[in-house]
Chain A
Amino acid sequence: MAEQIDMTDNHRQIERDAALWLARRDAGGWANRQQVGLDAWLAENAAHRVAFLRLEAAWQESARLQAFAAGDAAGRIPARGEWARSPYFAPSVDGEKPIKHGRRVTLRKRRRWPVFAGIAASLLVAAAIAGGFVWRDYTRVDRAAWETAMGALKVVHLPDHSTATLGSGTDLHMTFSQGERDLELTRGEAFFDVAHDTARPFVVRANGYRVIAVGTRFDVRRDAGQLRIVVTRGLVRLQSAHDPAKPPAMLPAGSIATVTDGDVAISQVTPNEAREALNWRSGFVVFHRTPLAEAVREFNRYNTRQIVIADSSLDALRVGGNFKLDNSDAFVRLMQAVFPVQAEQRGREIVLTRKAQAHTAH
């Protein structure tokens, strides 16, 4: 494992170095001596060279965006989304856009470069035809709701460029206004990758709590009577919605907070451990010496066919490994192979009992 972590750091470092070379060369006043330095770095090994080539290719491509500046006053930087979401563009490769956008079109008036005249013209035509649908209107409130079925997983792109990943059996309601990005989790679990916007706090309401973030990544899970928050990046504020007098809890990255009956328990784990709690996003779950009862609960979240432990002496068996969440069969098979466990299909349930040697009844 150790050498893999090293390798990982190594690659990130190489990419950072490559980006610095690129930025320095871009700064101008690039002397021959510096070029020799860059050449030497590139020649050192293939990893350096591919990292640099990759950044350089995208960086050069980005100059094509000059097409959009045509006609705009120099020095005016368009607001985020203002231009990128122009009707000129094909439907987002980012996936679904559940929101109906306001109708307001700003047409560009003048073009600077003949080369881009054609592009600009087609932009105008497309804008006219499409009737213009996107420009953000800051007085408007965006509302939408999503749900997932049992076992399903869905990635939702929110209008502020944040994303929400919805786990099995989840309901999420969105109300975005000028002052606040409000989401209500009425059921299930969701992971949020929040776009930074200090002017509009990002609030997830669940189980009578408000989980408040600015730009960060965190996960909120609702169970009967329980709420769990996992923070993998940034800082999140956890606040009771009913009892404003209660002091809020600040949760830095690596926190796992569990709220049960109004009591908040917070544990600090390593970033890797925190991320493991989020493996459901890729359809996997990781157990480390996890009690069988807890592991079974995890599978039951994702499968309509429920696993039932009929013999409570099995609850405490410790399970380890990585499993595909929607394949409880594989999990049950494995339990039978490794532990003194016997599985039996009864209707919609898989019932786990202790193997015959301990039960003369069989």
Chain B
Amino acid sequence: MAPGFPHAFRHPLRCRGLRYLRGMGSAIDDWFVSEVLVHERALMRFLHRNWRDHDEVPDLRQEVYARVYEAATRRVPDSPKSFLFATARNLLVDRVRHQRIVPITAVGDIEQLHVMQDELEPGRWLGGREALARLARALDRLPDRCREVVWLRRIEDLPQKEIARRLGISEKTVEKHIAKGSRMLADYFHGGSDSNAAPDKMRSERAWLSKST
């Protein structure tokens, strides 16, 4: 599949035999990566715009993904993108209903969450140049030591053991840097920014009054 995996052959999970071990999952895994993850930027924009507590957005995103994936194990949606946004919207509505706050302007507001034009653009794996630029910027955002470790591992392709030796740190520490690096790279690569960034504009309008007042 994926033009996104030029180095797929290196990874055990994508080897044929192990793929068989993973059973059913693998076809949906591929579908999820190539049809759903590519919309992460748009999804993040949507969530940021429609959810006022931005700290919760990464969690909402994960919850949306889990719901989408689960649904796909039963039946793969025909239109992944609209299914993704419908799922996101439903999640936000659920969340508002469960919060201990009473919407002042009718709950109607959130029921009319709009998907903006910019979110309707076709998702895609970024072209070579664009993807490289994003990856480079993502790498540069890593903390110093983490960046060194990721560079040596991914770009120079040194084994973790060798990296530990070279930098004079334990293998456990290298592993931790790799784990952290993978998370930060993913946020930036898929999402296009660190998840805490404030959105440029706020278009939704809602006001809540807490019950305590």
Give A residues with C-beta under 8 Å from B: 1, 3-4, 7-8, 11-12, 14-16, 19-20, 22-28, 30, 35-36, 39, 42-43, 45-47, 49-51, 53-69, 74-75, 77, 80-81, 83-84, 88-90, 92-94, 119, 153, 155, 161, 163, 165, 191, 193, 196, 275, 279, 281-284, 288-289, 318-324, 327, 330-331, 334, 338
Q: Which residues of B contact A281 (CB under 8 A)?
A: 198
* B117 interfacial contact with A, CB 8 Å: no
A53 to B62, CA, bound (A): 11
How many whole Å from A71's CB to the nearest CB in chain B? 13
> Among A22, A67, A92, A153, which residue has its beta carbon within 8 angstroms of that of B137?
A92
Closest 7 CB pairs of A and B: A320-B213, A84-B136, A283-B202, A19-B179, A58-B186, A23-B178, A50-B65
Residues in chain B near residue A288, CB distance under 8 A: 210, 212
Q: Which of B33, B40, B209 contacts A334 (CB 8 A)?
A: B209
Inter-chain CA distance A269–B101, complex, in Å, is 22
Q: In whole Å, how far is A190's beta carbon from the nearest beta carbon of chain B?
A: 12
Q: Which residues of B sit under 8 angstroms from A63, Cβ to Cβ?
A: 6-7, 154-155, 157
Write the chain A residue with the least CB distance to B133.
A89
Q: Are the C-beta atoms of A47 and B209 separated by less than 8 Å? A: no
* Interchain CA distance A322-B130 in the complex, whole Å: 39
B198 lies within 8 A of A80 (CB):
no
Q: Is B134 an interface residue (CB 8 A)?
A: yes
Are B73 and A46 neighbours in the complex by a CB distance under 8 Å? yes
Is B119 part of the contact surface with A, judged by Cβ < 8 Å?
no
A275-B55 CB under 8 A given contacts A1-B100, A50-B65, A60-B11: yes
Does B189 count as interface, using CB distance less than 8 angstroms? yes
A58 and B25 form a contact (CB under 8 A): no
Complex formed: what's the CA distance from A22 to B55 in Å?
25
**B141 interfacial by beta-carbon distance below 8 Å:** yes
Known: A28-B161, A50-B69. A321 touches B213 (CB 8 A): yes
Chain B: which residue is nearest A232 at the CB level? B196
Task: Decide if B139 touches A54 in the complex (CB within 8 Å).
Answer: no
Q: Which residues of B contact A47 (CB under 8 A)?
A: 62-63, 65-66
CA distance A282 to B48 in the complex (A): 9
Give Cα A351 to B33, complex, Å. 56
Tell me if B77 counts as interface (CB < 8 A to partner A): no
Q: Tell me whether B135 and A4 are in contact (CB under 8 A).
A: no
CA distance A27 to B173 in the complex (A): 11
- Partner of A284 from the list B133, B202, B212 (CB cut-off 8 Å) is B202
From B52, B156, B190, A322 is in contact (CB under 8 Å) with B52
Give complex CA distance A11, B66 in Å. 10
In the bound complex, what is the Cα–Cα distance between A47 and B32 (angstroms)? 13
Question: Are the C-beta atoms of B198 and A65 separated by less than 8 Å?
Answer: no
Chain B count of residues within 8 A CB distance of the other chain: 100
Checking B133, B185, B209 against A62 with a beta-carbon cut-off of 8 angstroms, the contacting residue is B185
Cα distance A51–B8 in the bound complex, in angstroms? 18
Chain B residue with Cβ nearest A272: B55
B131 in contact (CB, < 8 A): yes
A60, B22: Cα distance in complex, Å: 19
Residues in chain B near residue A153, CB distance under 8 A = 198, 200-201
Cross-chain contact B160 with A27 (CB below 8 angstroms): yes
Which residue of the partner chain, among A60, A155, A321, contacts B197 with CB atoms under 8 Å?
Answer: A155
Alpha-carbon gap, A334 to B79, bound state (A): 42
Q: Are A88 and B129 neighbours in the complex by a CB distance under 8 Å?
A: yes
Task: Determine the residue in chain B with the shortest Cβ distance to A233.
Answer: B196
Q: Which residue of chain B has the shortest Cβ distance to A57 in the bound complex?
A: B33
User: Is the Cβ of A26 less than 8 Å from the Cβ of B178?
Assistant: yes
Q: How far is the CA of A203 from the CA of B138 in the complex (A)?
A: 25
* CA of A282 to CA of B25, assembled, Å: 38
A158 nearest CB across to chain B (Å): 13
7 contacts between A and B (CB under 8 A): A49-B25, A50-B66, A63-B7, A288-B212, A322-B206, A324-B205, A338-B213
Q: How far is the CA of A99 from the CA of B171 in the complex (A)?
A: 41
CA distance A165 to B197 in the complex (A): 9
Q: Mark B120-154, 1 if CB is under 8 A from A, else 0.
A: 00000000111111111111110110011011111
Q: Distance in Å from the Cβ of B46 to the closest Cβ of chain A?
A: 14
Name the one of A7, A55, A92 contacting B63, with C-beta atoms under 8 angstroms. Answer: A7
- The answer to whether B4 and A57 touch across the interface, beta carbons within 8 angstroms, is yes
